Amino acid sequence: MSLFQVDAGKEWRGGQRQSLLLVQELKRRSYPCLFVVQPESPLFQKATEAQLPVFPLRMRSELDLRAIIRLARLMSRRNCVLAHFHDAHAVSIGSSAARLAKVPLRIISRRVDFPLKSSRKYKNHIDSIIAISEGVKKVLIRSGIPERLIEVIPSGIDFSPYAEARHSDYLRREFHFGPDDYLVGIVAQLEDHKGHTYLIQASKILKQHAPKIRIIVVGSGSLQMELGKQAHNLEVDDIVYFLGFRKDVPQIMSSLDLFVLSSHLEGLGSSLLDAMACRLPVVATMVGGIPEVVIHRETGLLVPPRDPDALAEAILKLYLDRTFGSRLGERGYEVAHEKFSVEVMAGRIVALYEKLAGEKKIQLLGKA
């Protein structure tokens, strides 16, 4: 008997981190799991290093018939009683395999607030959809998903890497920043919905009013060249630093003075939780699930999306009032620990599993 966790992500993003944290917690709680992931992916590597029960399955597309058949056979052999799908590709492949294998419980996680292209696969033979925020839930309902299927369970964070990363001069040593340089960072994929273009426009304003501010951009993506060109054309490439993909995010976060998230679409913004774990004040946009994490003037400042002037104004406010910023950071740290720990997240997901299993008289704990 086993619980399958299926994640078809090929890159290391917030969703993959969440599925990894969940499987780690399920293992710790003695639930018999199998983690199905892409071979040679960062998630496969991290799951293997964490000594999790992992099965590499190449999932080339949402219509990969070979992957569906292999997964269905595996589910049958392992007596899969619950399958949890963590991304869109996993939903298509995993739900098809689960139907073939007659898996009794099927659950989807939805982490983004993009409208669904098709709601059929999110409704047929699905027992529950976990939305990571009320914002995502609203989008699902507008896309035709019955509200009774949706359970809101926010993302969780493992605080230990941030407790260990306390070298505040980490980036300053790497880039020779001065002690009075003010480091404003964003950690996000370089894709349109993350709104980097508005942050770079805001950088032009910041350079005029506070030339000691430095913008640290961590992440890779399809807009890398375009954003670099934009920074050059606006003559802010001397204060905007593109670091690309980095594995040392906790150390980078611990080096910052302020964190910013400029998205115009965002399911929750798990990088905000990382920032709060580092006691950083944050400036973020009022979209998706962000207002469920950032409480305006209590744990950070919220601004309208696609508004470089408002973004620059909020950053300048915290640059000029460090005491206020410190107070926001401390309160954010408290809220993150109270509401967004991985233990809280996993506990709520396990409670959902057990509730659904109880309704169908299925036992989840037992020998794998």
> Is the torsion defined by CA of 132, 137, 140, 145 positive or negative?
positive
Give every CB contact of residue 79 below 8 A, 6+ residues apart in sequence.
1, 2
pLDDT tens-digit map of 116-151:
887 788 888 899 999 999 999 999 999 999 999 999
Q: Are the C-beta atoms of 163 and 185 separated by less than 8 Å?
A: no
Rounded distance, CA 251 to CA 101, Å?
A: 44
CA–CA separation, 304 and 280 (whole Å): 20
Query: In this model, does residue 166 exceed pLDDT 90?
Result: no
- The domain 2-156+341-359 belongs to what CATH superfamily? Glycogen Phosphorylase B; (3.40.50.2000)
What residue ranges of the chain are covered by domains with CATH 3.40.50.2000? 2-156+341-359, 160-339
Kindly report the CA angle at 269 between 226 and 40, in degrees rounded to 5? 70
pLDDT of residue 167: 63
> Per residue in 26-52, pLDDT tens?
999 999 999 999 999 999 999 999 999
Res 266 pLDDT > 80:
yes
Distance CA 49, CA 324 (A): 41
CATH fold for domain 160-339:
Rossmann fold (3.40.50)
Longest dimension (CA), the chain: 65
State the Cα–Cα distance between residues 250 and 337, nearest whole angstrom. Answer: 16
**Overall average pLDDT of the 226-249 stretch:** 96
